[in-house]
Structure formats: C-alpha cells, structure tokens
C-alpha cells in the first residue's frame, strides 16, 4: 500500500512540474524559442505574489489572480521589445539573451528581496488532507494537479478551438504567409509569451505554497521543466503533463528508497526515456 501511496504522491508532484513546463512548451511550440530564464520568471512570479500578500494582506490565491495580468503584460513586453529581436535563423541569440536575462533576474531578486528563503502563507485549507481508505492525499497537491490538468486542457482548447489558436499554429508553420492573412507575427509571439507568463504565475503560486523559495532556485525549476517538455515530446502539451508525471513519480519512488536519491532518480528517469525514445513520448509529426 505504501507504494501506491508513493506513486500517487509522485503523480500529484508531476502536476507541479507540468505547470513549470507548460509555459516553456507553449513558447517553444510556437516560436522555437528556448527561454532559459523561465525558472527565474517562476521565482519572480512567486515574489510578486508574496509582495501582494504582504502589502495588501490578500490570500495567496487572490494575489496570484492579480499578479496574472501584470505578468501577462510583462511577458508581452519582454517578447515584443527584447526576445523578438533575437529570433531568426540562428538559434544562438535567443539562448544567449535569455541566459543573460536569467542571471540579471536572479541578481535583481537577490538585491530586492535578499537571499533569505521565503514562502507563501498557508491556511487550514492548504494544509488539509483527504483520507481515502489507507491513503491520505494533501488538498494542496490535489489542487496543484487539478490546476495543471486545467491549464493544459485550457491551452488545448485555445489552440484548437479559437481564432487566436489558429493564428498561433499558422504563425508557427510559416510567419511570412501568416502575414498575408493579416497576422502580425511579432504580436502573436508577444501574446504567446504573455500567456506563458500567466501559466508561470500559476506555477509560482503552487511553488510558493508548497515549499520555500529564494532567488537562486530558478535554474533547477528550469531543469525540471525542460525534462518534462523533452520527455513528452517537444511541442506536445499533453506530453508535457506526462513528462511531469514521470519525473514526479521517479522522484518520489527514489526518495522512498533513499531520501538522497530523490533529485537524482528524476534525472535518471529523464535519461532513460531519452535513451529509448530520443524524440520524446509524443513527438509532433513535422518539425
């Protein structure tokens, strides 16, 4: 029974990793841009929520709701005025610029909020758990997982049911011909990064409620996000959820055997999947 419990905890943890990864997957899928500052943007989102909680005395959930439009605008502007300039045939400039952005963000956060670790205040609900027979599941991990599923469902609806989604896919296929349809690729890219930062805010909320954070933990979140995206297959949103779950389960299983193995077993699971399926579990037909 302990194994069932461990695996269930792992699946729920996978929801958090899927949230880390969904924004990365979205941006890569539309504009082939790998954002190395993604983890630091999550940490920045957590500090923004914390700031709203402390200054306005809001609950973290309400604070995240307010942070979302702010982060959307930030992402929109970041893409429109900085990252769009790096896109082109050469894949190196976006990597270099987002790497630099990652370092700048870490230092700015360090300067503003100090190196002390913080966490978002939890209340009775967020620390409660549901007893299901012999298994007890935390409300918080369940909520995290449900949010991850909702985010990915929502993104799929957006992609395949709306005009904006059609424009996303068309621009991803061929930006020049998209222009002939009246689409401005620069604005489509900016909107995509804006949406990615809304998802980042949701990820930041659960990161901050679940554990401590400080300005330096961004790169490790980026690694988990990367692994989830690559296990799932680049650009596949449901694959990203599957990837998050695989890492989550591997980590909790590893930790159940020996707590020191938690992080390592996640990475090993990633390498094993890469060995068997180099293009991930659900690769796109054409790239």
Of residues 91-150, which lie at the interface with other proteins (CB under 8 A)? none
Which range binds other proteins by CB under 8 A, 69-77, 139-147, 178-186, 216-224? Answer: 178-186
Of residues 29-88, which lie at the interface with other proteins (CB under 8 A)? none
- Within the chain, residue ranges assigned H as helices are 2-31, 38-56, 60-81, 92-113, 124-127, 139-161, 163-173, 175-180, 185-210, 218-232, 237-257, 262-276
Which range binds other proteins by CB under 8 A, 42-50, 74-82, 141-149, 166-174? Answer: 166-174
Q: Is residue 89 involved in binding other proteins (CB under 8 A)?
A: no
Instruction: Using CB under 8 A, pick the residue from 163, 271, 276, 278 that binds other proteins.
Output: 163
Smallest gap from residue 88 Cβ to other proteins (A) = 16
Instruction: Using CB under 8 A, pick the residue from 4, 108, 146, 174 that binds other proteins.
Output: 174
Smallest gap from residue 172 Cβ to other proteins (A) = 7
Give the number of other Cβ atoms within 10 Å of residue 94's Cβ: 22
Instruction: Using CB under 8 A, pick the residue from 134, 182, 259, 278 that binds other proteins.
Output: 182
Give the number of other Cβ atoms within 10 Å of residue 67's Cβ: 29
Distance (Å, rounded) from C-alpha 8 to C-alpha 11? 5
Distance (Å, rounded) from C-alpha 115 to C-alpha 189? 33
Listed residue (203, 237, 277) closest to 13, CA to CA: 203
Contacting positions for other proteins (CB under 8 A) = 163, 166-167, 169-170, 172-174, 176-184, 286
């Amino acid at each position: 029974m302990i194994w069932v419990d461990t695996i269930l905890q792992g699946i729920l943890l996978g929801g958090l990793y899927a949230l880390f990864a969904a924004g990365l997957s979205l941006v890569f899928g539309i504009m082939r841009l790998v954002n190395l500052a993604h983890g630091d943007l999550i940490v920045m989102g957590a500090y923004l929520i914390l700031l709203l909680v402390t200054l306005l005395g809001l609950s973290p959930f309400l604070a995240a709701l307010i942070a979302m439009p702010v982060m959307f605008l930030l992402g929109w502007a970041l893409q429109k005025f900085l990252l769009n300039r790096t896109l082109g045939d050469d894949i190196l400039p976006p990597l270099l610029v987002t790497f630099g952005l990652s370092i700048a963000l870490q230092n700015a956060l360090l300067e503003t909020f100090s190196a002390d670790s913080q966490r978002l205040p939890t209340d009775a609900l967020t620390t409660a758990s549901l007893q299901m027979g012999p298994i007890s599941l935390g409300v918080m991990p369940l909520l995290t997982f449900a949010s991850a599923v909702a985010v990915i469902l929502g993104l799929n609806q957006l992609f395949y049911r709306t005009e904006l989604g059609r424009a996303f896919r068309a621009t991803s296929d061929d930006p020049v011909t998209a222009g002939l349809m009246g689409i401005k690729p620069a604005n489509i890219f900016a909107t995509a990064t804006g949406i990615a930062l809304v998802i980042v805010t949701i990820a930041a909320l659960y990161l901050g409620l679940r554990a401590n954070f400080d300005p330096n933990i961004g790169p490790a979140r980026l690694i988990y996000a990367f692994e989830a995206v690559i296990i799932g297959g680049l650009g596949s949103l449901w694959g990203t959820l599957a990837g998050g779950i695989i890492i989550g389960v591997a980590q909790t299983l590893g930790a159940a055997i020996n707590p020191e193995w938690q992080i390592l077993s996640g990475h090993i699971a990633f390498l094993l999947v890469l060995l068997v399926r180099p293009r991930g579990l659900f690769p796109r037909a054409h790239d």
